[in-house]
């Protein structure tokens, strides 16, 4: 406590933030008199500027991302809004980090339409019209193409399309006996 002359007494101390190890400064101003004792406290204001910017940035993100990465962004955005509306500075800083991480982790979804068309085309082919080796090769490539998930890179999709299209075109038809 600090008292000097006729000034109001001011008690200033630091309190560790139990969640983040950060130091928070708390100051109490006191008026002392014979019959009354008043305490005024001031708490550090929370800074939400960075969080506000990230929330606006996240809200303006259009579609075209994988479902998994978009749902992670939506979750982080929801948590950021909650921290902004009633969190302390530690929660706000944590929400900033998580929201920024979710924005940076967004993965673009790729156009699977050509691959889907090739898969449908390959599945319609009659195995009895082609040699066993060429049809087995097609089935191997077809199974690989079907196994690609929405996290596949654009290059993986492109390679699968090329391989599947190549196998369809390289199918060897069986010769019919005219006897």
pLDDT at 85 over 80: yes
Contact of 167 with 135, CB cutoff 8 Å: no
Distance of alpha carbon 79 from alpha carbon 91, whole angstroms: 9
For residue 67, the model assigns a pLDDT of 81
Neighbours of 61 (CB within 10 A): 14
Distance of alpha carbon 21 from alpha carbon 19, whole angstroms: 6
- Torsion, CA 49, CA 55, CA 57, CA 58, rounded to 10: 160
For residue 110, the model assigns a pLDDT of 72
**pLDDT grade for 3, boundaries at 50, 70 and 90:** very low
For residue 177, the model assigns a pLDDT of 56
Distance, C-alpha 99 to centroid of its chain: 8
pLDDT at 112 over 70: yes
pTM of the predicted protein model: 0.48
pLDDT at 121 over 70: yes
Distance of alpha carbon 110 from alpha carbon 157, whole angstroms: 8
**pLDDT grade for 134, boundaries at 50, 70 and 90:** very high
pLDDT, one tens digit per residue, over 25-80 is: 444 444 444 445 555 555 567 889 999 999 999 999 887 787 888 899 999 999 99
- What average pLDDT does this structure show over 102-128? 87
pLDDT, one tens digit per residue, over 135-173 is: 999 999 999 988 886 667 788 888 998 999 999 999 999
């Amino acid at each position: 406590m600090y008292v000097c002359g006729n000034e109001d007494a001011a008690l200033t101390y630091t309190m560790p933030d139990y969640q983040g190890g950060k130091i928070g400064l708390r100051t109490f101003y006191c008026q002392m008199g014979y019959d009354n004792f008043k305490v005024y406290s001031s708490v550090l204001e929370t800074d939400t500027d960075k969080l506000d910017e990230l929330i606006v940035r996240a809200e303006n993100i259009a579609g075209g991302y994988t479902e998994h990465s978009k749902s992670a962004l939506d979750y982080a955005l929801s948590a950021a809004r909650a921290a902004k509306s009633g969190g302390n500075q530690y929660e706000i800083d944590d929400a900033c980090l998580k929201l920024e991480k979710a924005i940076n982790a967004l993965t673009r979804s790729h156009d699977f339409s050509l691959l889907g068309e090739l898969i449908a085309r390959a599945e319609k082919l009659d195995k009895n019209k082609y040699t066993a080796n060429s049809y087995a090769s097609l089935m191997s490539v077809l199974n690989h193409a079907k196994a690609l998930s929405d996290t596949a890179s654009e290059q993986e999709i492109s390679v699968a399309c090329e391989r599947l299209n190549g196998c369809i075109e390289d199918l060897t038809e069986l010769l019919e006996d005219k006897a």
